[in-house]
Amino acid sequence: MVMSKKWSTAIILVLLTALITACGSSSNKTTPSDNSGQQTETSAPKDGGNLIIGVGADPVILNPNYAGDRVSLTIDQSLYAPLFQVNNGKKTYYLADSLTASEDSMTYTLKLKSGLTWHDGQPLTADDVVFTINSILDEKQNSMFRGNLMIGGKPIEAKKIDDLTVEFKMPQAAPAFEATLVQLTPIPKHIFENEANIEKSTKNNTPVGSGPFKFKEYKTGEYVTLERFDNYFGGKPHLDSVTYRIAKDTNAANLALQNGELNINYVSPQDAPTIQGTGNFDLMPYSEGRLSYILINEKSDLGVLNKKEVRQALGYALNREELITAAYLSPEYADPAHSFLTPDTLFHTNDVATFDNDAAKAKELFQQAGVTKLRFVVKSGDKTQESIALYVQQKLKEVGVAVEIQSIDASALNSKVYGGTSTDFDLTVAGYIMGFDPDAYSILFTTDNSSNYSHYSNKQVDELFQKGAGEADAAKRGELYTQAQQLVAEDAAIYPIAYTKTIVAVDKRYGGVEEAVLKPVVIFEDLSKIYLK
């Protein structure tokens, strides 16, 4: 599950269930090689060729402001250019030329680059930015980002100054505004302005974006192909096309990688040695600011998972260190998690309540609630998820609870878990990347939010998120989010497993990897930089 949409977001929401997580060091450097895998001097960029990237499911939607799954966000990153991105505190402008705040931080002025166009040749202007913001604020459009643009119950105002300038007026102090704006991607007004429901619009099936590659073809269950956009503002991309090959089975994806049918794919810690052994790939481990956790469905028809004592019982039955070893092979690949915020997020603390490793207490609480059976759904072929489910099954059996494991493909899993209405499952493995500001996490843990897939509800937590979004004093804001972390942990709303790292395998025949920038959720920030050596 990716929640947050963009890593800076993040908000993946980004909900990241069907993700393959992984491990390792933080180095992102690559070693040039020729087609034989031998070390060579760096080759000059060459134009032409195709890049094939493996993805674990069909995209849910090709519209960046509604996408929350890893696959959709990955493809959307090439179709739609962002206004700007933030990496390690450094801002990189894309469609935007600048973003400045007034002295009182109540007004932000966005300047666009000149000469921007959509893939269909129409100009991209301030009208598109204002339209995008207003469509998100329109309650009828059901955008998951609407709450992030409401400050103290009042909406942010976006106003066109001229074709290249947009002014944003805050109803009150909004310290998270920049973190919100980095998640939002302009969509074309001339395409969507008459659509009553943008999320359900058939125009998303043939998207018109502004990114380095434009839509060419989508064959359900097989692939999505994009072709080079010659008028990309960042310069004509080197590659002719990019194909996202849908490989729902992890074993089949690994085989395709080894056979050269895929050029880029995520790999798990379990599979990394095999891929490395081919000599054809650089394995690039990096931190995504991602939390891996067990999602507890409070809407389950068992009727007891909405009681925190039952959710605490799950934690008591488990040992987090054992679970990390079972899932990720080594503590080197994952750091134990207690908070719902990730370490790269402002005001993160891991010093919160935990419920671990007390089998007697778990058994007592489960018996009091009459829980004898739980249903755990996982993505079929995902070794990490399967390992987690098997470990939970073993530990709960020891306290008198039978766990039925159901493996289903990624698309079915996304529909069941993130469709919002399923009551016939109790647990699943999930994850998210939300970015550097805690306000982004509000969509996951506030009552009745469409992205609150656990269906968790605590009015005090709702109030803390609301206050935090509008608190200008950093110290006071930190206190609010510390309280929110403590309450969510005490309620055992989720079972945090680890802050994980991810490994991506990249065919050594391709260059420009460092310039493209490894990016949480979407692999690369700008695929226009990738080339065949």
**Region of poorest pLDDT, from 6-10, 98-102, 384-388, 474-478:** 6-10
- pLDDT by residue (tens digit) across 23-34? 333 333 333 333
Confidence label for 286 from pLDDT (cuts 50, 70 and 90): confident
Give the pLDDT band (50/70/90) at residue 40.
very low
CA separation for the pair 458, 487 (Å, rounded):
9
Backbone dihedral angles phi then psi of residue 11, each to the nearest 5 degrees: -120, 95
525 phi, psi to nearest 5 deg: -75, -40
pLDDT of residue 269: 84
Q: What is the CA radius of gyration of the chain?
A: 23
Determine which of 36-40, 107-111, 358-362, 475-479 has the lowest per-residue pLDDT on average.
36-40
Retrieve residue 524's tokens: 């690369």
pLDDT band at 43 (very low <50, low <70, confident <90, very high): low
Q: Who's near 414: CB < 8 A, 6+ residues apart? A: 15, 17, 18, 57, 60, 69
| Residue 248: band (very low, low, confident or very high) from pLDDT cuts 50, 70, 90 | confident
- Alpha-helical runs (H) found in 80-209: 126-137, 177-181, 189-192
In this predicted structure, the answer to whether residue 360 has a pLDDT above a threshold of 60 is yes
pLDDT band per the 50, 70, 90 thresholds, residue 109: very high
Cβ atoms < 10 Å from Cβ of 206:
12
What integer pLDDT is reported at residue 13 of this predicted model? 39
Residue pair 305/315 in contact (Cβ under 8 Å)? The answer is: no
CA distance 75 to 53: 10
CB of 244 closer than 8 Å to CB of 223: yes
Residue type, 73: L
| Average pLDDT estimate for 474-491 | 97
CA 277 centroid distance within chain: 30
d(CA 286, CA 283): 10
Convert the pLDDT of each residue in 326-341 to its tens digit. Answer: 998 877 779 999 999 9
Q: How far apart are CA 480 and CA 467, in angstroms?
A: 7
What pLDDT is attached to residue 36? 38
pLDDT at 38: 38
Q: CA-CA distance, 369 to 379, in Å (whole number)?
A: 29
9, 433 Cβ separation under 8 angstroms: yes
For the ranges 15-29, 179-193, 254-268, 426-440, the lowest mean pLDDT is seen at 15-29
Statement: residue 322 has pLDDT above 70: yes
pLDDT digits (tens, 9 = 90+) for 117-151: 999 999 999 999 999 999 999 999 999 889 889 98
CB 283 within 8 A of CB 263: no
pLDDT digits (tens, 9 = 90+) for 177-211: 998 999 899 999 999 999 999 999 999 999 999 99
Which residues fall within 8 angstroms of residue 97, CB to CB, at 6 or more apart?
Answer: 111, 112, 113, 164
Query: What digits encode the pLDDT tens for the residues 60-96?
Result: 999 999 998 899 999 999 999 999 998 777 899 999 9
What are the tokens at 341? 């915020």
pLDDT tier for residue 254 given thresholds of 50, 70 and 90: very high
DSSP string over 282-331 = EEEEEEEEEEEEEEE-TT-TTS-TTSHHHHHHHHHH--HHHHHHHHHSSG
Q: pTM value?
A: 0.74
Give the CB-side neighbour count of residue 476, counting CA atoms within 13 A: 8
Contacts of 332 (CB under 8 A, 6+ apart): 23, 24
- The mean per-residue pLDDT over the stretch 419-424 comes to 87
* Confidence (pLDDT) at 42: 53
Question: What integer pLDDT is reported at residue 352 of this predicted model?
Answer: 98
pLDDT of residue 104: 86
The DSSP code for 148 is G
Residue 531: φ, ψ to 5°: -150, 160
**Which residues have C-beta within 8 Å of that of residue 519, sequence separation ≥ 6?**
7, 77, 85, 87, 525
Q: What is the pLDDT of residue 208?
A: 98
What percentage of the chain exceeds 90 in pLDDT? Answer: 76
Domains of the chain, each with CATH number or no CATH: 294-498 (3.10.105.10)
For residue 213, name the pLDDT band (cuts at 50, 70, 90): very high
